[in-house]
Every structure is written in C-alpha cells, then in structure tokens.
Amino acid sequence: MAATSRPQQNQILDALPQPERERLLPFLEPVTLPLGKVLYEPGDVLRDIYFPTDSIVSLLYMFKDGRSAEIAVVGNDGAVGVALFMGGETTTNRAIVQSAGSAYRLSGERLKEEFGRHTEMLHILLRYTQALITQMAQTAVCNRHHSVDQQLCRWLLLSLDRLASSELTMTQKLIANMLGVRRVGVTRAAGKLQELGVITYQRGRIAVLDRPALERLCCECYAVVKKETDRLLPLHPLHSASRRG
C-alpha cells in the first residue's frame, strides 16, 4: 500500500466522528488492490467490507454466456460489500478492481459490533447505499436509452470523481466489458472525444484534458447521480479542497 494512503481518504471513514474512527483504526486492515482482482463473485457469502482510498471497484452483472455489464462503480466515495449490513450477506454481482490502488478492509463481524455500540456509522452507510442505488438505477436507464458516446462520457466522469488524478489506466476492451457494448463502439466514441480535444488515449491510458466539455457532452445521468450523492454524503472540507485543486 502506498505510504500516503490514509483511512481519511475514504469519505465514509472521514465522515465518522473522530472517537468512532479512532476506535475502528486498529481493525482497519490496509490492502493493495491490483487491477483485475475479484473481491467477490455472485452468490459468495460476504465476510468483509472494503473502503477504497485511491482505487476503483466495478460492480458487474454477469450473464450466463460470460458477458458482463457494469451496474455501479465504487471508489473513495463509498464501500464495497453493502450486503453485509443490508441483511442478505450475499449478492448477485461481481466486484472487480477497475483501477488499481489501495483500500481498508474491515471484517463483517467487527462492523456489526460497531453498529451495536453506535449508530452513526450505520446511518452514514445507509445514506451511501441510497446513493449507490440511485447510481445503479441511472446506469440502467443510461444503458437502455443513451448512446455509447454518452455512456462513455458518464463512465469517465464517474471514474474521475473517484480518483485524485485526471488520468485513467483502462483498455478499450475493458471499457466495452464494463459498459456491456461492442469494443468498436467504444473505439469510435473515444476517437470522437480525442478529435474534439476532450481526451487523449494512448496504450491503455486515458487523460481527460477538458472536463467541462466532457460534462457538456454527457447525458443527464451523470448529473442526477452526482446531485444525489452530494446531497446524501456532503464532502468533508478536505475532499472539497482536493477536488477544487
């Protein structure tokens, strides 16, 4: 794990009152999440919850023929494994690392003990889950009604919001798998953005050069998700300052 990674880089952990966060610190295990690592598969019994700091995890629905479609992304805004505290403890999707980085892992047992002592963490996680449900619903709408060009813009913006830089490491094939579309569609969409000077794409690296233009080209789905996320989980001043920078 990078030496600069701290629990406060995750917005859920950062939003906890200091006494609760300090009480959790000895139980938060730092982990490195390499690109492509699968955190859980459909039907797995979840035993841990992950709080990404500078990594992004994609939640995918897996079809019987091996195809997949992304239903949500989780980064430093949230947690991976919400089924642990929603009562089901299993899920129908795959969680796979989309952007390598770090996270903190907390056992489900310790999480439930925390819920039994204090309710603040539960309240924060439930608000996050509501924001996650909004993202899932809007992704379904976007995939059904909007063009691949717009879907790519939405995906890039959601990813950027969960990273500290304006550069992503991701091949067009992987993006196509995330969006559940043909690779040629992503190639064309990325080519248009590059021609407009919005992004540069080379050897699996995408750099966003003009975020305002990317937002203008995007459908309304991104704005809906961002507005609801900001409403439910107001950014800590630390995160707000880093985003402005």
pLDDT in tens, 54-85: 999 999 998 888 888 899 999 999 999 999 88
| Rounded-to-integer distance, Cα 155 and Cα 132, Å | 15
**Residue keyed to tokens 């993006």:** 175
CATH 1.10.10.10 boundaries in the chain? 147-218
Question: What's the mean per-residue pLDDT of the chain?
Answer: 88
| Rounded-to-integer distance, Cα 132 and Cα 77, Å | 10
Amino acid of residue 232:
L
Do residues 199 and 160 lie in contact, with contact meaning Cβ atoms separated by under 8 Å?
no
CATH 2.60.120.10 boundaries in the chain? 7-143
Fold for domain 147-218? Arc Repressor Mutant, subunit A (1.10.10)
Q: If pLDDT is split at 50, 70 and 90, which confidence band does 4 have?
A: low
CATH superfamily of 7-143: Jelly Rolls (2.60.120.10)
| Rounded-to-integer distance, Cα 222 and Cα 69, Å | 17
| Rounded-to-integer distance, Cα 1 and Cα 104, Å | 10
Quick one: pLDDT at residue 211?
Answer: 95
Count H helices and E strands in the chain, helices first: 11, 10
pTM score: 0.86
Quick one: pLDDT at residue 234?
Answer: 66
Q: List beta partners, residue 105.
A: 29, 50
Least Cα distance to 76 among 5, 167, 157 occurs for 5
Quick one: pLDDT at residue 101?
Answer: 93
| Rounded-to-integer distance, Cα 148 and Cα 153, Å | 9
181-237 pLDDT, tens digit per residue, is 888 999 999 999 999 999 998 878 899 999 999 999 999 999 999 999 999 886 543
**Burial grade of 78 (CB within 10 A; 0-12, 13-18, 19 or more):** buried
3-class secondary structure, 119: coil
Quick one: pLDDT at residue 115?
Answer: 85
**Burial grade of 79 (CB within 10 A; 0-12, 13-18, 19 or more):** buried
108-139 pLDDT, tens digit per residue, is 999 988 888 777 888 999 999 999 999 999 99
